[in-house]
Structure 1
């Protein structure tokens, strides 16, 4: 029996082994990695599905009316009235039967080769786009869109680059599936062909056929269908009139795609690729827009142009975005401004070539309420002269470049004495002159600004230094490089100047120009905009500049007196740009005339001149024509101020007023002046005052004798409209009178060390409200 025990134990062990199974084998490292990857993939798949359904749960609805409607962006005025539509041509809607098969084949070949096989989304295309994103290709999310998805995007979503998100792509795909289920392929193609933007203000390919070729849609040739099919991707780039080279390349790409899609043979494609892109294009395009729309769009053209420019900067494609843009446009003021510059009822213009650019703002918030980009224009969205920055603003920059920095940094009073005598730009042989070639001697800063004398302005910038003046300008968003001659003009637009002068009206607070109040996208998403504001100068600086510029409008020697609106508290500055002496123009002729004026309700900046000032006859003569900006201002501002209360500016506590030689003058309250003399007709500074400037470049002793001479010199400076004229001796160009003078002048005037030292030693204190720079 004992001999049988081992075998029984073996049998028992075998039974136990069969019962428990084989011994467990350990997993290899690669098997563990695979299992982890599989688990992560499943988790990602489930998470992605949950995320997708959370996105589509909030997707907007889409209706047939949205699919069939135009995709035109609308611009609305401050009252909510539509004043501009991106489609300048009235759309003709093509029925499914009207669309030739050749056009459908062209569209499908270039936009979505598998259009007839998928159900709204193309999985192969999506993975292709995903791969492109990973590898850094330019295809990106956009490349995954089918033709149906493109239709959905054009119908309910924004085209802004900032809205190309995974959420939007998910919602776009979901809605594309719903559209593919509800509508036939022919119906989807019909929606798309009628909706897309085709350039030149044209929506829909039926309208495009009439506009570009003067034919109905079924009368075009294969190459013409290919041209139309390729345009929606970039209507401006592929415009056959504007960019024939790129248009041909795109057309030929479409023809090549048709070969791949087996709709053309290679021989046929080659034949049509050899056809000139100009084949069948008509030279004269007849407007397909209703007359009432056309009339309104002409009136608001410049304003709309600026809004569209801003939209593009924000990343939108306004031609295909279907946006509603709510603006601050005051349509009544816009119509008034349009009528003033486009008729001779208010102002007598010398010719139809004489041009105007103007911008009107509300200084309290920076809202642009009106803008005119030209007169007698037959084009839509043409040159906007209100925003052009290639013309010198002449003496309208003196408060910004010269006297503003002098008050802000050097604490000059309005009776600071300046010497108007023979003077050369430092380090050069270039003489500074006024139009009439005479000098007026000693005068106060107030009188120099009122009569717009050039030598005192140049000497002021030389004393302040271009570095400090540049710092002052940058606060207004103006980044022009300054030279010695910049004292008499830098290149600015009326839009820039209106915003800058607005800060004078608000006591030193600058509001960034704002035209757009809010943007409503097709899916209802609203984006609102708020004006950015900041303090750019002391209250005392703004008030003292305004007080002096009030005299520009009311003084007998003021250059802006012809623009004064009776019963209105207002201030302003004229500007003139003259020709170089080598240019053959009549005596007294100038190239540009400006005026920027303001009250507490509005700022209005106006430029006048010719687009080609150096062309024979394109100059502004002296007399009435030189005063046209003032007459425009008076006509528009008089209308704007009807039924409005005109309020004067309140003097801050940091400023005090005295009477010198019968004229009101201002100085900083806490400066070291002998207040006991304030009741007399003359005023003498203490020896420590900043206003006793020792610089040889500027004779600036504000003594009783020099102040008295200021009064006597005012009559010699009273030839107001001509004395301010700035000229360029560096070239014969009439449009660049300031910024191109030689660098030696700039080097000589950048923060003259003697002047800097003098002013810093004699600095005076300001009251607390001026020391706060917000």
Structure 2
């Protein structure tokens, strides 16, 4: 056998045989009769080889890794999750691929037919492959050079967009093209044209990170694909050929030329009239303002943090619909109102301001420069429903691009006098009443570092005052005395019940707000005063639905009692005076504030060094808090107060909220609020006379009875001080004793 094999591998054997065959073929070609036979055999051979090659390519393309139509049927694309405001508007998106699925039946015909007109005009006629277009594409590429128009149908484009790893677009090979054709023809047999076109419109990449027409419509035009006109549809239809090159934001002139080419194709297909074509080609490209991917960015980021633990990767790929309570009108007013107020402060409208301004800092930034610290004046606004805790507006800073730090949820700041209502509420639980008295006189307290001598903000002393007056006028000395009388343990207990998470230390300055708190905790804690005594947790999410509308999560924390309804109502009654005739009266400003028809209560706050200024206030159905200060705490300016600088922001937000609404009814008085006469620390019984009428919580009444009038201690007054000796009975004249007689001439004038 070895000898036989060597016979066929001898040197020069195959060359000899090849030369002999070639000589016979040339001889046959010279003979006309045999030439036809040679041509016929050649054609058959080429056809056989071509058929074999095509068959091999068809059966072996992807070597068993090609996707099939069944995989398309069960394909679940990664969809962006949408954060929606209370009116259904989009606030933001969470995504790995920014895609939102849309039903083709919900789209205007002009939208999907514009893609058909430019990308695959015989889409409804072929079965996945357009042979005429493929031949034309080969011809054009040969004539014009490779890189000319392609021959891929919508079905073929869909195949590689659904499975980019198995069918990479940058792979220029027969294998990939055959695999595309194979999957396209399978899809045509498996699905109807409507379904194929719907899949295409939802999966095609259209630049700027947008997958599908819905995401692209929101990216470039700030609206749903359901609302697109024919010019906008033509702009999107021009993108699949080269999404980056025709990106209308980056290359507007190039994109406009491509749009006009699409308009011509739409006219040729009978989708638009000649007049529309002419007008459309004259119309300049019109896009929505950039940066529309996020509204209320500090709030959206807070939602992401809350839901990431709840849903994990599904948050970025599951197409969730996250419903929130954000009121877009209030959100816009909160953002604009805060910025306007901070600009007024920086311009010196409230006095000399020497700090860096937002405008000067921003102007000094280089393009693309990252910011690690914002030295300019900052602020926050939180608006919520005091009954449910649902957030209605949130501003966590001035510029999210420069600082993503949310001062509403992540900062700890001294609340100053805005903390005082909790001291007074604890005192009411301890048996006090609004008209009971407390000293506002000078006070010195020994501590480990010596003697602390606090003062009132204005440097004056008020003497004896009622609790109601002390809170209305924000008297520090009276509040410190009241807190020390009540005790730190009772204050800590109340503060924890209302939802403030911060640790309250035991030094006396905490009674006037020296302990740092999270602003959102402080603001939401005020809801206990306004909702009848219930603890309310801030709610950022109302519910989460999947992309089919099924509810996945609807957080509804059970209500917890923070204080008795009577305590809450009495506190609200006292805090109403702060707004109506106390430190918060700018809330009633005729030009920018609330009318007296809207019941309102609240408390201003200013720290001793004016580094933090506050106002937290509420109506029966809305609660809002405002803070202003620097990230690195230091004095804002001399004379800065919450009553002058924070209240106006609150007032404008609330004025907007009630601009077209009927004023709510005032807080109803609960049954556990009772009126009693009191004297000192005692409620007088019916048998007693005198006393002062005041409001008490029925469960926290102090001792009831009549004061025992003790006889005044007898003070001896000597009626005969001129006589010697001692009186034998108080109040009676002296009775001289024998030794008291004077002997004339004796030493000392006395009897020896």
Query: 1:632 — aligned with what?
Result: 649
2:511 corresponds to 1:500: no
Query: 1:161 — aligned with what?
Result: none
Query: Which residue of 363, 367, 388 corresponds with 1:365?
Result: 388
CA distance in 1, matches of 2:490, 2:675: 27
Structure 2 matches for 1:106-255, cutoff 5 A? none
Query: Which residue of 295, 319, 328 corresponds with 1:322?
Result: 319
CA distance in 2, matches of 1:349, 1:540: 43
Query: Which residue of 663, 669, 684 corresponds with 1:673?
Result: 684
SS at match of 1:294: coil
Query: Which residue of 516, 540, 560 corresponds with 1:534?
Result: 560
Query: 1:562 — aligned with what?
Result: 586
Query: 2:339 — aligned with what?
Result: 342
2:452 corresponds to 1:434: no
SS at match of 2:291: helix
CA distance in 2, matches of 1:336, 1:678: 55
2:84 corresponds to 1:76: yes
Question: When the two structures are aligned, how many residues end up with a matched partner?
Answer: 462
CA distance in 1, matches of 2:432, 2:346: 41
Query: 2:413 — aligned with what?
Result: 391
Deviation at 1:419, TM superposition (A): 1.6
Structure 2 matches for 1:261-410, cutoff 5 A? 291-292=288-289, 294-295=291-292, 297-298=294-295, 300-317=296-313, 318-343=315-340, 350=347, 351-352=357-358, 353-375=376-398, 377=399, 379=401, 382-400=404-422, 402-408=423-429, 410=430
Query: 1:252 — aligned with what?
Result: none
Query: 1:521 — aligned with what?
Result: 546
SS at match of 1:84: strand
Query: 1:598 — aligned with what?
Result: 618
Deviation string, structure 1 residues 106-160 (Cα, Å, up to 9, x no partner):
999xxxxxxx9xx9xxxxxxxxxxxxxxxxxxxxxxxxxxxxxxxxxxxxxxxxx
Query: Which residue of 475, 486, 490 corresponds with 2:510?
Result: 486
CA distance in 1, matches of 2:245, 2:396: 31
Query: 1:445 — aligned with what?
Result: 467
Deviation at 1:104, TM superposition (A): 8.0
User: Based on CA coordinates, which of the two structures has the bigger radius of gyration?
Assistant: 2
Distance 1:479 1:495, change over 3 A: closer
The answer to whether the 8 A contact 2:456-2:476 is kept is yes
SS at match of 1:356: strand
Deviation at 1:486, TM superposition (A): 1.7
The answer to whether the 8 A contact 1:560-1:573 is kept is yes
Deviation at 1:610, TM superposition (A): 1.7
2:658 corresponds to 1:641: yes
The answer to whether the 8 A contact 2:530-2:572 is kept is yes
The answer to whether the 8 A contact 2:85-2:326 is kept is yes
Q: Relative contact order (C-alpha < 8 Å, sep 6+): which is higher?
A: 1
TM-score by length of 2: 0.51
2:672 corresponds to 1:654: yes
CA distance in 2, matches of 1:333, 1:601: 14
Query: 1:476 — aligned with what?
Result: 498
Deviation at 1:638, TM superposition (A): 1.5
The answer to whether the 8 A contact 2:528-2:534 is kept is yes
The answer to whether the 8 A contact 1:327-1:515 is kept is yes
Distance 1:494 1:107, change over 3 A: farther
Query: 2:570 — aligned with what?
Result: 544
Query: Which residue of 590, 597, 607 corresponds with 2:627?
Result: 607
Query: 1:51 — aligned with what?
Result: none
The answer to whether the 8 A contact 2:586-2:643 is kept is no
CA distance in 2, matches of 1:447, 1:359: 28
CA distance in 2, matches of 1:61, 1:442: 82
CA distance in 1, matches of 2:388, 2:695: 41
Deviation at 1:594, TM superposition (A): 0.4
Structure 2 matches for 1:458-473, cutoff 5 A? 458-473=480-495
CA distance in 1, matches of 2:320, 2:608: 45
Deviation at 1:658, TM superposition (A): 7.2
Deviation at 1:61, TM superposition (A): 9.3
Deviation string, structure 1 residues 546-578 (Cα, Å, up to 9, x no partner):
1111111122xx111112322221110111123
SS at match of 1:404: helix
Query: 1:772 — aligned with what?
Result: none
Deviation string, structure 1 residues 738-766 (Cα, Å, up to 9, x no partner):
xxxxxxxxxxxxxxxxxxxxxxxxxxxxx
Q: Structure 2 regions of 5+ residues with no counterpart?
A: 1-69, 101-114, 116-151, 169-175, 180-189, 212-217, 220-241, 252-285, 348-356, 359-375, 589-593, 710-752
Distance 1:75 1:449, change over 3 A: same
Distance 1:679 1:638, change over 3 A: farther
The answer to whether the 8 A contact 1:470-1:479 is kept is no
The answer to whether the 8 A contact 2:208-2:244 is kept is no
SS at match of 1:516: coil
Distance 1:311 1:192, change over 3 A: farther
Structure 2 matches for 1:567-582, cutoff 5 A? 567=596, 568-579=598-609
SS at match of 2:337: helix
CA distance in 1, matches of 2:689, 2:96: 65
The answer to whether the 8 A contact 2:434-2:468 is kept is yes
2:443 corresponds to 1:413: no
The answer to whether the 8 A contact 1:90-1:290 is kept is no
The answer to whether the 8 A contact 1:423-1:455 is kept is no
Structure 2 matches for 1:689-700, cutoff 5 A? none
The answer to whether the 8 A contact 2:677-2:684 is kept is no
Query: 1:224 — aligned with what?
Result: none
CA distance in 2, matches of 1:513, 1:479: 13
CA distance in 1, matches of 2:427, 2:331: 36
Deviation at 1:625, TM superposition (A): 8.2
Deviation at 1:666, TM superposition (A): 14
Deviation at 1:690, TM superposition (A): 8.0
The answer to whether the 8 A contact 1:397-1:488 is kept is yes
The answer to whether the 8 A contact 1:470-1:480 is kept is no
Query: 1:148 — aligned with what?
Result: none
Deviation string, structure 1 residues 41-66 (Cα, Å, up to 9, x no partner):
xxxxxxxxxxxxxxxxxx999577x6
The answer to whether the 8 A contact 1:355-1:610 is kept is yes
CA distance in 2, matches of 1:578, 1:475: 27
CA distance in 2, matches of 1:385, 1:191: 40
Deviation at 1:197, TM superposition (A): 11
CA distance in 2, matches of 1:653, 1:684: 12
The answer to whether the 8 A contact 1:305-1:381 is kept is no
Deviation at 1:597, TM superposition (A): 0.4
Deviation at 1:387, TM superposition (A): 1.6
Deviation at 1:595, TM superposition (A): 0.4
The answer to whether the 8 A contact 2:417-2:474 is kept is yes
Distance 1:573 1:626, change over 3 A: closer
Query: 1:424 — aligned with what?
Result: 445
The answer to whether the 8 A contact 1:388-1:492 is kept is no
Deviation at 1:488, TM superposition (A): 1.7
My pick for the range that moved more, 480-489 or 428-437, is: 428-437
CA distance in 2, matches of 1:387, 1:492: 10
